[in-house]
Amino acid sequence: MPYGVILCPSTHHTIRAEKKVKENGFSVKLIPVPRHLSSDCGICLRISWEQRETIESLLKKEGVKMEGVHLLE
């Protein structure tokens, strides 16, 4: 199953994303940001690539700021 990652501008939004997505029954994990995606020293949300659209619209509704959604290869 391919994974994707959601990058947020700030740790606050990444943690909020994890909380809101988990509250809605999705299985996700916080992981360090892959170096090839960004030089941030922080974390991002790993999601199932298939669920990316549903999760993205959920997070938009919850006011989570996102910087991008990437396929994790």
Q: Which residues bind another protein (CB under 8 A)?
A: 9-16, 19, 30-33, 38-43, 63, 65
Of residues 56 and 65, the one with the C-beta less far from another protein: 65
Beta bridge partners of 3: 48, 72
Write down how long the chain is.
73
CA distance 66 to 14: 8
Q: In which region does residue 9 sit, left (phi positive, over 0), alpha (psi from -120 to 50) or beta (all else)?
A: alpha
- Nearest approach in angstroms of CB 67 to another protein is 10
- Nearest approach in angstroms of CB 47 to another protein is 16
- Nearest approach in angstroms of CB 30 to another protein is 5
Of residues 12 and 50, the one with the C-beta less far from another protein: 12
